[in-house]
Structure 1
Amino acid sequence: MKAFLNLLFVLSGFVLLGQPNFGEATIGKLQNSTLRVSGETNVTGFSCVFDPTYFEPQKKIAYCDQGDLILLRNATLKLNLDGFNCGGKAINKDFRAMLEAEDYPEIILNFKQFNRVERGYEALVNIALAGQQHTYTIPVEIVQGDLKHLKGILKLTLSDYDLELPKKLFGLLKLKEVIAIEFDIAGNLNTAF
C-alpha cells in the first residue's frame, strides 16, 4: 500500500509539472475591430460587414507563452448574425437563411493557439457555423500600437458546413462556394502573469 501511495505521489507530481502555466489577459476596446464576410457570385461579389458594437466591450482570455507556441483559452469571438449588414434587406435575409440563423444565430471563432513561424504567426482557429465545426490554420499579422491588432483572412468552403447555396433569378445567379472572413481584431491588451 505504501509503495502504491508513493507511486501515486510521484505520478501526480509529473502531471502537475507537465501542465502549462497560463496567465490572464483582458482585451478591451474590442469595438475598434472590423470583420467582413465576402464572397462572389457568377455575376458579382458581395460583402457583409459586422457591426463592431456587437463585440463584447472586453474579453478575458488565458494564455501560455511557450516560446514559438502561444496556447490560448477562452479566446472566443461570438458573432451574432444580426450584426451583419450585407447592404440591403434581401441580401441580409439570404445571408441569414444560408447560415441557418434561426437555428444557429452565431458564428463562433475560437482561437486555440498561435505559432511563431518564419514570416510571422499562424493561428489555429476553430470555426462553429450552422451547427458544424472545423479547425483551420491561417497566417495572421500582429500589429503593435496604441491598440494591438490581430489581422487575417480565413477562407471557408461552404460545402464543408453542408450549407445550401442560395440561387436567384431562376438559378441564373449562383453563389460561389468559397467565402472569406477578413478580420482585424483590435483592442488594448492588459496582461497579468
Structure 2
Amino acid sequence: MKNVLLIVTVLFFGAFTSAQNSFQNKTVKILPKSKLKITGDTNIKSFDCVFDMKFLQKEYPIEYITDEPNHVRFKNAVLGLNTKGFDCGNGPINSDFHKLIQSEKYPHILIELLEIRRQQEGSANAVVNITIAETRKEHTFPVEFSKGEVSNISGILMLDIKDFKLEPPKKLFGMIVVKDDIEINFNLKVKK
C-alpha cells in the first residue's frame, strides 16, 4: 500500500511539474504599421493622443501555454509604452496629457498580457494588467484578430482614470474639465 501511495505521489507531482514547465518561448515583432492612440473627452471637445511607433521596442520575447483549446496564458508578455511617444496634436493638450499621466515621474505605461480566451473565430477576450503612474489594474476586454504570417490584433480598452489615482486637469478656473473615461484604441500588426 505504501508503494502504491508513493508511486501515485511521484506521478502527481511529476505531472504537475511538467505542466508548469510547459510554457513555450516565442519572440514576436510589432511592425511599424501598427497604430495605438488614447482618446479622451472634455466638456467641450474630444482629443486624441497618438503613439509614435518609433518609441516601441521592435521585438518582444514572450512565454505562453495553452491550457485548453481556446485558452492561452502568458508570462512576461509586457508592452512598455514610453510616454514621450504620445502626441496629442498641440502643445497645451500635450502638456496637460503628460501632467495627467505624470510622465516626468513615471515615463512608461505598461500593458501586460495575462491570458486570451477565444470566443469564436476571429474574436477573443483578453485579460491584461495596465500600469499607469505605478498603479496597476486588471482589465478584461474583447479583441479581434486575424491569423497569418502577419497577425492583426485590434480592440478598444476603456479605462477610468480615477482607477489609476489620476487627477484630470481643469482649465479656465474649472470651466474646461477632462472626463474620467478614456479609451486605448489599438491595431497591432504582429509578426511571429
TM value normalised by structure 2: 0.89
Q: Is the 8 A contact 1:112 1:125 kept in 2?
A: yes
User: What residue number does 1:175 align with?
Assistant: 178
* Aligned partner letter, 1:30: L
Q: Compute the TM-score of the two structures, normalised by the length of structure 1.
A: 0.88
Residue aligning to 1:184: 187
Match of 1:116 among 111, 115, 118: 118
The aligned residue for residue 146 of structure 2 is 143
Q: Which residue of 2 aligns with 1:161?
A: 164
State the match for 2:108 in structure 1.
106
Quote the Cα distance in structure 2 between the aligned partners of 1:55 and 1:80.
7
Identity %: 34
Point out which structure has higher relative CO (alpha carbons under 8 A, 6+ apart).
1
Q: Which runs of 4+ in 1 moved over 6 A?
A: 2-8
> Which range moved further: 56-65 or 127-136?
56-65
Q: Distance in 2 between matches of 1:75 and 1:19?
A: 17
Using the alignment, how far apart are the partners of 1:108 and 1:75 within structure 2? 10
1:82-109 Cα deviation digits (max 9, x unpaired)? 0000011111111111111122111100
C-alpha distance in 2, partners of 1:147/1:118?
20
Moved more, 15-24 or 123-132: 15-24
Taking the TM superposition and a 5 Å limit, the aligned residue runs for 1:80-99 are 80-99=82-101
The answer to whether the 8 A contact 2:153-2:190 is kept is no
Q: Which runs of 5+ in 1 are unaligned?
A: none
Q: Hey, what's the Cα distance between the residues in 1 that align with 2:29 and 2:143?
A: 20
Q: Pairwise mapping of residues 12-23 of structure 1 onto structure 2 (< 5 A)? A: 12-19=13-20, 21-23=22-24
| CA RMSD between the two structures | 2.2
**1:128-157 residue CA offsets vs partner (Å, 9 max, x unmatched):** 011100001100011235521111100000
Provide the residue aligned with 2:29 in structure 1: 28
Distance 1:167 1:90, change over 3 A: same
Amino acid in structure 1 at the alignment position of 2:61: K
| 1:68 alignment counterpart | 70
User: Structure 2 counterpart of 1:164, which letter?
Assistant: E
Unaligned runs of 5+ in 2: none
Structure 2 counterpart of 1:104, one-letter code: Y
The alignment partner of 2:69 has SS state of coil
Q: How many residues align?
A: 188
In 2, Cα distance between the equivalents of 1:40 and 1:68? Answer: 36
What is the Cα deviation at residue 185 of structure 1?
Answer: 1.6
Tell me, in whole angstroms, the C-alpha distance in 1 between the residues paired with 2:97 and 2:150: 31
- Which moved further from structure 2: 139-148 or 67-76? 139-148
